Structure 1
């Protein structure tokens, strides 16, 4: 277990295991194995290797989808071999991790004069760390997600539905009505659940907004596999100071479902506990509604990864979208998975699932998602009658996004900077992390900013309607190049 911990394993606390959970565990079993995905052991590693030998394309596809990046066949073979040796001789593996060859990248260091206003010793910045990177941390991904790739996930918690008699809210909650001089601020961020320093600095920015930040939505992504220890360390702890003043909502994602969703639901229950009046979320989908605006979060992970086909959920979504349209509200859809992706020529299956609502009937004005790990804003296209935003870059390490790639919708802004300023010469291959801030105004307009993990404003936009027309970008300005 020490080897697992050295590579990033977060075990559930002894207190949690002894007290059980408010969430119904599979088969009524409150053991750690029932509540979340265990790490890969030697037996499962052998089974994964055998499956790779029989069906290499299938396993490679699962691994690439899981880590969110390109993994070569050779890299996977090498990682499997390394892991087998490490699991057979964990003490030797631990010792090797402490040796100079493993620390060779320590020469990558920040210049002494690197600083920014929010920088603090409480969140140390270590550019050498490669945790969660697709290839450099392939061992970690295999150890802590491998069982899900081998078995197709873990035993699932019971799904919570809006029409259950226990949920009088029907998963619909009040969004404060913005007034003159009193806009409503909503932070939107995805891929946050890593515990790494970019995510911690995003959390620091949200916390420093204090009571001005009335709502925050995590668009999903708790890594490696949505375990309880990962929720505790990567989400609950850094966002705890928000809870007394900010209504926090969280979406379900494929990573969370690797542990069956039990830690996800437990976190919802814990947020509502301790007399926290602002914490209202009961299920994995929701609608926050005022007279002028609706924020509608959907679950694109529980029933099928990246899809939304369950009839009961489609009916609920249709009803809230129609209600918003009837009163002239702006419908803002929030999901983990994306309707389309920058760099991909065609829309996703999720868009096909929702085509009747968002394309044929144009019931959605603005759609933000968290599965694409880069910041981007999109205009409507010929067959895409809504504005779009990719905000999945709060915590995961991703390669720099190259401009000029194909896109199903016109690109209005693309985060193409590196994580560190160019002048530092540090990790130029890593893309910039950040999040979005949405301002809902009393006159029905929306202000939107994309900020990076250091607090730099990367893009500012104003969205509004002209008469009864669609929501459009009235103004959009990208920040000047960083000095």
Structure 2
């Protein structure tokens, strides 16, 4: 059985169109639930037909049903289901194959329905009170939206794994594609995860992991020997810093359970510490949706000026925001570690990596976005932005950020900031 099979958006549209032509559009719904299911498939067919889907390039969208469709079709193709075939696709990995669907039996629609109906949301795991003590000099490697197993993702992993400097923790900021089921967690995440000698591992929950209920995330990742992570949120501290990883995906773009009061208690217990937050979703964005629920729940803390920096993924880009004028926070988007994303810069013709400035607007800070070609997307490198990862060196009250290319050879940039108590 072939591993890491991909399903292009165009293949989803094709499979749904063939199923429509074979009569699923005229199928009578037995109940309201079934009618809603068919309506969702028709919506996906229309959406997929309008999305850009370059041949041979991995693509996924933040759409629950579309992601489930891709996961299901990939699984069926790997099982050599009737009417499916696998053809090699240039996905920058020997294990990468794109599933093609030519002779579609519309019966797969009802098998998909039965599979979705069996999905259950995993129970939420509460973290213990308090935080784990770490050294004052501490180094982290951050990966975001890395769970493709393709392009720069495995290259980033091998660079982190072979880094000659000590790394105390490797952290993923979430998203394993398409819908974070067991096969995808095994093939696109655990199989490539960087195992740096002596480093602890942490994984934050992501949007795509929760599309299948988060079961593979909670059971196979958190429960693995590599992670042994008790909950989807956690805290660390030393003499100067409180580091907090949040679960913003169990409740989409929100904080589920007792996380808000838990964080408040941690901050109160360490009143002189600067705070570094890590999450999958952004509290704000110059390019995509905002995080009003996160802002609302954390505003009492943000308004104190104690959150020195917030690192997130979700958006497929690398962005360094200027210091927030109200919160005094350095916002960082690190969602560029493995996904082939379209370049954000308007002048996308440059053939080298660079930082492009954007202005403050609508009470949001300005900043810079990483631009340049992606040599790991061999189909059209100039169309896609660079992959990469980030290391944080905590030295006393100073944080040193290094933004690395996947091969770890040259940094895109280095940046220092120091926590100054309000």
TM-score, with length taken from structure 2: 0.72
**2-structure distance, mates of 1:378, 1:341:** 9
Which aligned pairs between 1:222-237 and structure 2 lie closer than 5 A? 222-237=176-191
Q: 2:123 aligns with which of 158, 164, 169?
A: 158
8 Å CA contact 2:244–2:277 kept in 1: the answer is yes
Deviations 1:190-249 (A, max 9, x none): 11111113100010111012560111111111111111222222222222633x510111
Match of 2:262 in 1: 316
RMSD: 4.3
Deviations 1:35-80 (A, max 9, x none): xxxxx9x79x8767831488x499859x98x93479xxxxx9xx99
Q: 1:306 aligns with which of 232, 250, 253?
A: 253
Q: 2:276 aligns with which of 329, 332, 336?
A: 332
**2-structure distance, mates of 1:152, 1:67:** 22
1:187 aligns with 2:141: yes
Q: What number of residue pairs does the alignment pair up?
A: 361
Which aligned pairs between 1:400-419 and structure 2 lie closer than 5 A? 400-402=343-345, 403=356, 404=358, 409-419=364-374
1:382 aligns with 2:329: no
8 Å CA contact 1:308–1:353 kept in 2: the answer is no
**2-structure distance, mates of 1:94, 1:196:** 21
8 Å CA contact 2:308–2:419 kept in 1: the answer is no
Deviations 1:327-352 (A, max 9, x none): x22200000001112324x7322433
Which of the two has greater strand per residue? 2
Match of 1:452 in 2: 405
Equivalent residue of 2:371, what SS? coil
CA gap 1:458/1:449 in 2 versus in 1, 3 angstroms: same
8 Å CA contact 1:413–1:459 kept in 2: the answer is no
8 Å CA contact 2:311–2:331 kept in 1: the answer is yes
Match of 2:337 in 1: 394
Match of 1:281 in 2: 229
8 Å CA contact 1:338–1:350 kept in 2: the answer is no
How far did residue 155 of structure 1 move? 0.6
Deviations 1:424-479 (A, max 9, x none): 9942111111111100003x11101111223231111010145x45xxxxxxxxxx
How far did residue 380 of structure 1 move? 2.5
Which aligned pairs between 1:227-306 and structure 2 lie closer than 5 A? 227-239=181-193, 241-242=195-196, 244-271=197-224, 273=225, 279=227, 281-302=229-250, 304-306=251-253
Which of the two has greater helix per residue? 1
